Amino acid sequence: MLIKSATKFIENSHSAAAMIACLENQHGSSTTSSSSASAADPAASSLEPYATDFGGMVRAVPTAVIRPSTVDEVAAAIRFAASNGLTVAARGNGHSIHGQASAAGGLVLDMRGLSGPIQLVAGEYADVPAGALWEEVLEWAAAEHGLSPASWTDYLGLTVGGTLSNGGVSGQAFRHGPQVANVGLLEVVTGDGERHLCSPQSEDADLFFSVLGGLGQFGVITRAWIRLLPAPDMVKWIRVVYNDFACYSSDAESLVSRAGPNSFDYVEGFAFVNSHDPVNGFGSVPLDQARHSFDPTHVPPNSGPLLYCLEVALHYVDAVDAVDQRTAEMLQRLRYIRGLEFYAHVPYIDFLTRVKRAEVEARANGSWHTPHPWLNILVSASDIVDFDREIFRKILRHGIGGPMLVYPMLRRKWDERMSVALPEGEIFYLVALLRFALPQPVGPTVEEMLAENRAVVDRCRSAGFDFKLYIPHYRDQTQWRAHFGEKGWRRFADRKARYDPAGILAPGQLIFSPETTPASPAVSSRH
């Protein structure tokens, strides 16, 4: 009855406050705090769009969807849920993979309603609503102020609150840290419906660090101060190719370890198939197919099944000749295959929005709407050469039908007080297997891709690699405990008890439920 009534109401609702009032009437509960009216999302004519995500592998239908436009509406929705035994999931732009932002039978908060305006703070921070997309932050910062956030993700069609709840990494992370390391202040609504302003220096500093990388378990981020830097005009974007992974990884680690005025501003890379494979082969490397093509005769004949592309970029406002001279000197030290260099000079904004162009193509060919059984792993540098031998060159030797990213980051750029679980090594790699399931009979099935993902993780475990899943997905608390380790798990569980004692937030992560949330530290210490 509740689901049917809520669905009907969504189709005709004009405010999140009215939506909550309708649900209260269904539950017969007392009135919550009222909040200002906000326009209902016209696309939310049914619950079905909120039952799935970008991964396309999980379907979890909520009882209702609320599109808050203010922090008061977020707080009212959470208080209502806590009073009525409902779970709550904050959903950004729907780009989770395994239903992490879902709430089967609960409430979904469509955070895109919290998307404006953005304010400049003291010339160095953007005060951003959590539902804003990073591409919207870029447009505001660069166009209006000549500024730019310091750290990015590769794809900018993600919400600020979403990436801060996970980590937020790209090729700038070695220099500036992940997005979670570039936040000055947060506004958070905890699981009891209370609003908090927190920063590293505030009384609520523990909450600040808890929600950064906290997978939505401790509170809903509603605003964030994002650190800004002057935006450059142009980028020289370079790709060079290796056939020896040890040389590739050594050069990449050297570049990220000497971050300074004579280093690149961006360092990433990927593995690709040593063939003319249309997705993962030679053609995936050149930046401008019209100007440069991949000449496979440069590849040494003794090369293995995979090659490796180191991707770097240097920001500049100088003349092109000056930046060309700088990059030539910087590349001279690297041990890539001469003759397999590719470059392009592009505007800074075009560089940052490069994946948007791939999105347009994927939407056109239909692959954007197919399942995406992605796997992201953080692997310690001490194990990355063995990872290449055991996984890239064996399990994944034929490619995966999508990008296979592999590039290093520095542990010291992450604050250990945050909730993200990291490998122990000072240098670790992001390995991102970004699969696209094409309509049958083209390519492997989703089940086959997931089985290969499991084989990768199982091999990491059996080989004793120092690794963690990034944007993790586990099925039960035993696996989550192993993910965090005993010390990390105790801290994570204590934070859950402190900030979401009813266990109602982010049920789609499958970490806690109202039945499994631990007692608060204050309570448990008395027994």
Give residue-wise pLDDT tens across range 327-362: 999 999 999 999 999 999 999 999 999 999 999 989
Choice among 53, 72, 265, 268 that is catalytic? 268
Per mean pLDDT, which range of 1-5, 71-75, 260-264 is the poorest?
1-5
Under the banding of pLDDT at 50, 70 and 90, the label for residue 15 is low
Choice among 135, 154, 206, 494 that is catalytic? 154
Element at 441 (helix H, strand E): none
Residue 41's pLDDT is 43
- Residue in the block written with tokens 């500049």: 316
37 has pLDDT over 70:
no
**Cα dist from 43 to 11, 50, 69, 150, 171, whole Å:** 9, 10, 16, 33, 34
Percentage above 70 pLDDT, the chain: 89
- Residues spanned by CATH 3.30.43.10 within the chain? 2-113
Q: CA 147 to CA 355: how far, in whole Å? A: 21
Under the banding of pLDDT at 50, 70 and 90, the label for residue 24 is low
Closest-CA residue to 248 (of 340, 365, 173, 126): 340
Under the banding of pLDDT at 50, 70 and 90, the label for residue 319 is confident
Q: CA 221 to CA 162: how far, in whole Å? A: 9
- Residues spanned by CATH 3.30.465.10 within the chain? 119-230
22 has pLDDT over 70:
no
Query: What's the mean pLDDT in 500-518?
Result: 94
Options 3.90.209.20, 3.40.462.10, 3.30.1490.20, 1.10.10.10; which CATH number does 234-469 get?
A: 3.40.462.10
290 has pLDDT over 80:
no
In DSSP terms, 109 is beta-bridged to 66, 90
Is 268 a residue of the active site? yes
14 has pLDDT over 50:
no
Choice among 53, 95, 110, 176 that is catalytic? 95
Residue 518's pLDDT is 83
Residue 379's pLDDT is 99
Per mean pLDDT, which range of 20-24, 141-145, 205-209 is the poorest?
20-24
Higher per-residue pLDDT: 25 or 376:
376
- CATH assignment, 119-230: 3.30.465.10
- CATH 3.30.43.10 is the classification of domain 2-113: yes
In this predicted model, what pLDDT tens digit does every residue of 365-380 receive, in sequence order? Answer: 888 999 999 999 999 9
- Residues spanned by CATH 3.40.462.10 within the chain? 234-469
326 has pLDDT over 70:
yes
Q: CA 524 to CA 527: how far, in whole Å? A: 6
Is 95 a residue of the active site? yes
Name residues whose C-beta falls within 8 Å of residue 284's C-beta, 6 or more positions apart in sequence. 270, 272, 309, 403
H-type helices in 223-318, by residue range? 245-257
Residue 335's pLDDT is 98
Residue 519's pLDDT is 72
